Structure 1
Amino acid sequence: MPTGLLILLYLVAALLPLGLAWAQGLTPRPLVDELASGAGILALTVILAEFLLLGRYRFVARRLGTDIVMRMHQLLARGAAILALVHPFLYTTRRAPAPDWDSHRQFFVTADFSALWPGIIAWLLLPALVLMAIGRSTLGFRYETWRMLHGLGAALIAGFAVLHALRAGRYSADPAMSIVWLALLGIALFALAYVYVLTPLVQLRRPWRVSAVTPVALKTWEVSLRPARNFPFRYHAGQFAWLNIGTNPFGLWENPFSISSAPSAGPELRFLIKELGDFTDTIGQIKPGCRAYLDGPHGHLSVTGHSAPGIALIAGGVGIAPMLATLRELHARNDPRPTALIYGNRTEEQIACRAELESIASEHGTRLTHVLSAPPKDWHGATGMVSPDLLRAHFSDPEHKRWLYVLCGPAPMLEAVEDALIELGIPSRNILSERFSYD
């Protein structure tokens, strides 16, 4: 499905309730009151549509990119929170039970507590949910705890907000609007059930087992998995999967990790995982034979389908994982295109799979550049950050403008590298990146 059509369908869904409200032809109230109703209707629509922007639906993420879908999810949630917060304060019409002759609530806004209490709960929960998501790292929530609270909170907000609209809404009293709200709520809850119930049920039929856990750098491990049963798993180098090791697939312990193995290497999957807290701190304690489940593949950080005459890979830290998969695949397939890898770390001990990278560089002809921000005294390579000057030194020739650039690493590094590449004249369509942390 084309990207433009996906965006159009989302806009149509988001504006449908507003269009139905307008089509009712009710006598207009003061402009501010109409804005109040419009803000509430639009906020509720966006909230319900948010459930489809979870980053787990490949038919959406394949076109837009998982990171873009998640960014849309974050920004739209903040916008919906603002609309919902101002919604009750915009009304100027008198708040009192509407008399029988004012059946369309033209001169009165309901003050019936039975109609208001669901909206009050949703109104209080929504900003709390958004703020908790923005400040998750500051608040110190474990990822698994936050994920459970986020999903449960979103479902409660959706349910209470729809109940409030059906009981208190001037326009939502229309049968067609009521059907739309209930249908959208059903779709939203199904989307949540798809992630938390249906997908785990499918995973139960496709278990994996840990075949090896290998240290590849300081506090960095490569976990190898093999299917416990005979089933296919098709993916492209550069993609990622949600991985759950040691528990059942219905648990909240899954995390997204990039696949570091090459598809042509066979059924074994490898994941490069760095100890960063929560589940990852115990990754080195996992024993071979441990049961695992995964949901994937996801992501678009793949060179498959791109016919660029050269490929540049720029990674920071554990962002080397999808680059390693890409290099392994290109090397296995004897891809003749020139390749370059710029790999940034803080210390020399953090360079993952160093010997293999140097072997690929030698055998495949990849131009390999290590960059350290805290190098040892005897370091003779590049130092500092992956800077515009470093990129200019590597990719300033005219033919480099036609190359494909694949980026993965910390968000500040990605932003700086993207800006520098665009200044070098690299078209944005030739730059692939995925980021999962935002302001």
Structure 2
Amino acid sequence: MTATTAPAAVRRRLPGTPAWWSGAGATAAALSLLIVTVLWAGNGGVSEVTGGDAITAIGRLTGLYASDLLLLQVLLMARIPLAERAFGQDRLARWHRWTGFTSFWLMVLHIVTITVGYAAGANPFTTLWDLVLTYPGMLLAAAGTLALVMVVVTSMRAARRRLRYESWHLLHLYAYLGVGLALPHQIWTGGDFTGTAWARAYWWTLYLAAAGAVLAYRIALPLIRNRRHRLTVSRVVAEGPGLTSVYLTGERLADLPVRAGQFFHWRFLDGPGWTRANPFSLSATPHGDALRITVKAAGDGSSRVASLKPGTRVLFEGPYGKLTGESWAGEPIVLMACGIGITPLLSLLGELPCRDGEATLVYRARTDADLAFRDELEWFADRRGVRVVPLTGPRARGASWLPGSLAGAGDAEALRQVAPRIAAARVYICGPEEWAAAAKAAALAAGARPDRVHTELFAW
């Protein structure tokens, strides 16, 4: 056992998340689109439609929707603690992706309809060229549009599979540039932004809220926490083939509002490449004197971890994620991990004060050699009565969470066999996206309640 693995259950005394937060957030997002529609109608949108200029009116409205969703997209990933605690980064990332693509296509429709409307039967390409060159702020808007096109293209699944995480993340930051470059043309030429005092108040409030959230939670809060806690690498331990644990110490870590199961974005100040952050989960329960992460070598950033030296300074952002014991109310526990997905679940085992025999850990790996943390898992089995079920072998064909050797039993039935109390349990799932989706489907089919199934995906 290591110093950062819980010798007994450790319950972090952090505030819970009020149940109404998630509903309030979703309502606010829907309300923003309603407000945009009302402002558009009040600024002549309806009369434009009935007056025969429907194409231009649609162009105005789609541009407003695109701008609203673009700013909501920024807010979704601004790392606002309230939103992170209410939804978890998995859900925020999915909504961010949905609003991003929706905003992009609304922006394209805005450009097409406004151009056709202004052309009034003339050559639309000539009209678009004139708009870009002669209207105030349009050159900047065109540059912002190109930046957003690059972000959207590189966010498509086919493109992401061909990019390193570090490269994708750097390109993704150009979305902020796209938003910033779009602002001048909206302020200078957008009557729907400046036509009424209500419109000006709404749009300036939304822009300032998005910019303020980014400055406060993506920049200021990490700077404050890094200055306060001053993390450094204390030691580096090889856990297995391509698997490395990093032990971190710092100042006043007991004040860091982190729970087992959460993750941070890390930067190690060890030379070139330190500016690129990588998300790694805690792999042991945080105790206030040290933290531990475990990293699988899968790219340039993660491969560098094995060569870190004690004393290396560490910058971090977080904590993030909702794969925690916050909502656990004493039910049996089933944890389902695949590969490096074992790390947050291992930290959860140290925090949840489950009774002897009440927890089952199902651990999928390709081979026996890929099963990490054997000593710690044995400790949890011997001292805490955790039932550890390793399942090794190549994955079955199709959308299955099982190894091929067990696929004949069926996903849900096999889960009932290895975790007989699955229907009454709180279930925690972590692993690659497709595997986690299959594991979640099996848990639900086996009788687990949807509100008791929690997932964290290792995907970007």
TM class by shorter-chain length? 0.7 to 0.9
* 1:258–1:400 CA distance, 2 compared to 1 (3 A): same
Alignment of 1:402-421 (within 5 A): 402-421=424-443
Q: Does 1:28 align with 2:51?
A: no
1:324 and 2:346 correspond: yes
- Given that 2:265 and 2:277 are in contact with CA atoms closer than 8 Å, whether structure 1 keeps it comes out as yes
Shift of residue 280, structure 1, vs aligned partner: 0.9
In the alignment, which residue of structure 2 is the partner of 1:338?
358
What does residue 135 of structure 2 align with?
113
Change (3 A) 1:230 1:394: closer
Could you say if the C-alpha distance between residues 284 and 325 of structure 1 is closer, same or farther in structure 2, counting changes exceeding 3 Å?
A: same
- In 2: Cα distance, 1:422 partner to 1:212 partner: 41
1:424-435 equivalent positions in 2, closer than 5 A:
424-435=446-457
Aligned to 1:163: 184
Displacement of 1:88: 2.1
Question: Which amino acid in structure 2 is aligned with residue 38 of structure 1?
Answer: L
Q: Give the number of the structure with larger relative contact order, counting CA–CA contacts within 8 Å between residues 6 or more apart.
A: 2
Q: Which moves more between the two structures, 338-347 or 398-407? A: 398-407
Specify the alignment match of 1:132 in structure 2. 154
Q: Which residue of 1 is the match for residue 444 of structure 2?
A: 422
Q: What does residue range 37-436 of structure 1 map to in structure 2 within 5 Å? A: 37-54=60-77, 56-91=79-114, 92-95=116-119, 112-134=134-156, 135=158, 137-141=160-164, 143=166, 145-151=167-173, 153-176=174-197, 177-202=199-224, 203-228=226-251, 232-246=255-269, 252-263=275-286, 265-330=287-352, 333=353, 335-336=355-356, 338-374=358-394, 383-384=403-404, 389=410, 391-395=412-416, 399-436=421-458
Say if 1:322 and 1:55 are closer, same or farther in 2 by CA, change over 3 A.
farther
Name the aligned partner's letter for residue 244 of structure 1.
R
Q: Report the CA distance between 1:164 and its aligned residue.
A: 1.8
Moved more, 164-173 or 35-44: 164-173
Number of aligned residues = 414
Q: CA deviation at 1:115?
A: 4.7
1:180 Cα deviation after fit: 3.2
2:238 alignment partner AA = P
Distance in 2, Cα, partners of 1:83 & 1:416: 33
* Gap change, CA 1:68 and 1:142, over 3 Å in 2: closer
State yes or no: 1:6 paired with 2:25. yes
Deviation at 1:198, TM superposition (A): 0.8
- The separation in 1 between residues aligned to 2:155 and 2:323, in whole angstroms, is 25
- In the TM superposition, residue 278 of structure 1 has moved relative to its aligned partner by 1.8
Q: Could you say if the C-alpha distance between residues 184 and 386 of structure 1 is closer, same or farther in structure 2, counting changes exceeding 3 Å?
A: farther
| Contact preservation (8 Å) 1:85, 1:123 | no
Aligned-partner residue type, residue 182 of structure 1: W
Greater Cα shift, 424-433 or 84-93: 84-93
Shift of 1:239: 1.4
Aligned-residue Cα RMSD (Å) equals 2.8
8 Å Cα contact 2:62/2:107 also seen in 1: yes
Q: In 1, are the aligned partners of 2:247 and 2:292 still within 8 Å (CA)? A: yes
Q: Read off the aligned partner of 2:416 and give its amino acid letter.
A: F
Moved more, 161-170 or 60-69: 161-170
Structure 1 residues 334, 32: closer, same or farther in 2, change over 3 A? closer
Mapped partners of 1:399, 1:350: distance in 2: 27
Change (3 A) 1:357 1:154: same
- Deviation track 1:268-316 (CA, whole Å, cap 9, x = no partner) reads 1111111111211111111122222322222111123311420000000
Q: What per-residue deviation string (whole Å, max 9, x for no partner) do you get for residues 12-41 of structure 1?
A: 234333322212346324333221111111
Report the Cα offset of residue 371 of structure 1.
Answer: 1.4
Distance 1:346 1:400 in 2: 24
**Compared CA separation, residues 362 and 335, structure 1 to 2 (3 A):** same
**CA deviation digits over 1:98-145, x for unaligned, max 9?**
xxxxxxxxxxx99843353233223332222111122553443451x4
- Superposed CA deviations along residues 188-235 of structure 1, whole A, max 9, x for unmatched, are 222332344313321223211212211112111111111145762242
- Residues 115 and 268 (structure 1 numbering): CA distance in 2 closer, same or farther, change over 3 Å? closer
**Would you say the 8 A contact 2:58–2:113 is kept in 1?**
yes
CA distance in 2, matches of 1:184, 1:394: 47
Q: Partner letter of residue 360 of structure 2?
A: A
Letter in 1 for 2:147: L
Quote how far apart the aligned CAs of 1:60 are.
0.7
- Superposition deviation, residue 341 in structure 1: 0.8
Please identify, of 388-397 and 339-348, the stretch whose mean Cα deviation from structure 2 is larger. 388-397
Aligned to 1:215, the other structure's residue is in SS state strand
In 2, distance between residues paired with 1:16 and 1:418?
Answer: 37
1:399 CA drift (Å): 4.6
Q: TM-score, structure 1 length as denominator? A: 0.85
Q: 1:334 to 1:416 in 2, by over 3 A?
A: closer
Q: Deviations over 1:42-64 (max 9, x none)?
A: 00111112111116222112111
Segment drifting more, 167-176 vs 390-399: 390-399
Instruction: Name structure 2 gaps, 5 residues minimum.
Output: 1-17, 121-130, 396-401
Relative to its length, the structure with more helix (as a share) is 2
When structure 1 is superposed on structure 2, of 164-173 and 275-284 the one drifting more is 164-173
CA contact (8 A) 2:254 2:289 kept: no
* Cα contact 1:166–1:178 (8 A) shared by 2: no
CA contact (8 A) 2:268 2:313 kept: yes
Q: Percent of pairs identical after alignment?
A: 25
CA distance in 2, matches of 1:36, 1:196: 33
Aligned to 1:301, the other structure's residue is in SS state: coil
